[in-house]
Amino acid sequence: MGRLRTEDGGQCCLGVACEVGEELGILPHIRYDDSLHEWGYDTVSESGLYHFEYEVLPYPLWSAIGLTSENPDFVMSLDLAYKAEMEPDYTDEDGTDHSYTDYPRSEAATEWNDEYEASFPVIADMLEEFGCE
């Protein structure tokens, strides 16, 4: 998806995390930027610059909840892959074969969500089980 929220209301896993950040008072309410045609947040970067963020987790959120970056890598165990009904034996878009021997695997949160179609609860389970890298 590549966006925290789309015009039709769709969200990536990071967009869901941002909603929680709003509820906790870490982030301001999401707003639509007419010039960019994007939903996002008025926020401050890690270097202290103010900007409008619409593609990744805003710094105040990821730092407050103990993540290591704006799109952290999460580890999936083989047990969790089976629990999530994700097929551990597959061929990716590049033609690379993967099997159960590839687990545990580390991928960016957005990759698990967008490319591998891991659900939001599965991504939360990964975070609880392993944290992030």
What's the pLDDT tens digit per position in 59-115?
888 888 888 888 888 777 777 776 666 666 666 677 777 666 667 778 888 888 777
How large is the average pLDDT for residues 17-34? 87
> Given this model, what pLDDT does residue 113 score?
79
DSSP state of 11: B
Report the candidate in 73, 71, 70 with the shortest Cα–Cα distance to residue 58.
70
Q: Where are the domains of the chain?
A: 13-64, 73-130
- Collect all residues with Cβ–Cβ distance below 8 Å to 119 and sequence separation of at least 6: 84
Tokens of residue 83, six digits: 């629990």
User: Which of the four pLDDT bands, split at 50, 70 and 90, describes residue 2?
Assistant: low
Q: How far is CA 54 from the centre of its chain?
A: 13
Percent with pLDDT over 90 in the chain: 2
**Mean pLDDT, the chain, whole residue set:** 78
